A and B are shown apart, each in its own frame.
Chain A
Amino acid sequence: MALSIVHRATGIALYVGTLLLAWWLIAAASGPAAYAHVQAFTGSIIGRLILFGYTWALMHHMLSGIRHFVWDLGFGFKANEREALTWGALIGGIVLTVLIWIIAYATGGGR
């Protein structure tokens, strides 16, 4: 599996994406006019896609990181264990992402 590079790629994506987090917080602190720009972006199709991708990058990077942590602690080095951890991070990341967005829409976030 070549998932170590995906861990790096998602890390870099999350790095750049902190600009969005900072923009969101600054806009919220600036007032309704500035916040309207953020909402226009997060409400657009492209904005939603970027946020969805960002959620996946975060969830995958976290689970993949936990996988690295298991290895740091000296466990999970057998071939089948490595495979299981890797698939767990891959599938778990997608499942968690979809789950978060279902909850976000169900609680009225889609407005």
Chain B
Amino acid sequence: MSATDTPKRSMRTPLGRVRNLGAAHSGTSDFWRQRVTAVAMTLLMIPVLVIIVMLFGRNQAFVAQTLGSLPIAVIMLLFIVASAWHMKIGMQVVIEDYIHNEKLKLVSVMLNNFFSVAVALASIYAILKLSSGV
């Protein structure tokens, strides 16, 4: 018998062992993406803070013009995508940790997806609108 044989007591199929993705069927992809988006936001933090501090207290015309300029719009878009993705994963972890009722958990995870995508798309739409000057 070789070491690659499935132990007698294991409930895992040989294919499952090869894929190694676990019960969530997606392995550690969320863990990895949470860290990728975290590093992205950390790198973007200084330019984003500069932009927001620069716009703080200014009138709408100045804010609209600044947010619509290409480099600033791109920085904001990158930050919005990273943060929406990051917060979707983070909130899902919180939901899965604290909500034990299976149906309520599924609904919460679904609402979390809706919220994260809606906030991201609304923000992205606003930036694109400002960039196109419509």
Contact = CB atoms under 8 A, between A and B. Distances in A.
Contacts of B122: 22, 25-26
B101 interface: no
B81 interface: no
Interface string B80-107: 1001100100110010000000000000
Contacts of B76: 25
Contacts of B127: 25, 29
Contact of A107 (B53, B59, B60, B125): B53
Contacts of A19: 119
A51 B67 CA distance: 20
Contacts of A35: 59-60, 63
B45 to A, nearest CB: 6
Contacts, number: 84
Chain A interface, >50% SS class: helix
Interface string A44-69: 00000000000000000010011001
Interface residues of A, number: 34
A26 B83 CA distance: 17
A39 B59 CA distance: 9
18 contacts: A11-B90, A11-B91, A11-B94, A18-B84, A18-B87, A18-B123, A19-B119, A25-B67, A26-B122, A26-B125, A26-B126, A28-B60, A28-B130, A36-B60, A42-B57, A62-B42, A107-B54, A110-B57
Interface of A: 8, 11-12, 14-15, 18-19, 21-22, 25-29, 31-32, 35-36, 39, 42-43, 62, 65-66, 69, 72, 100, 103-104, 107-111
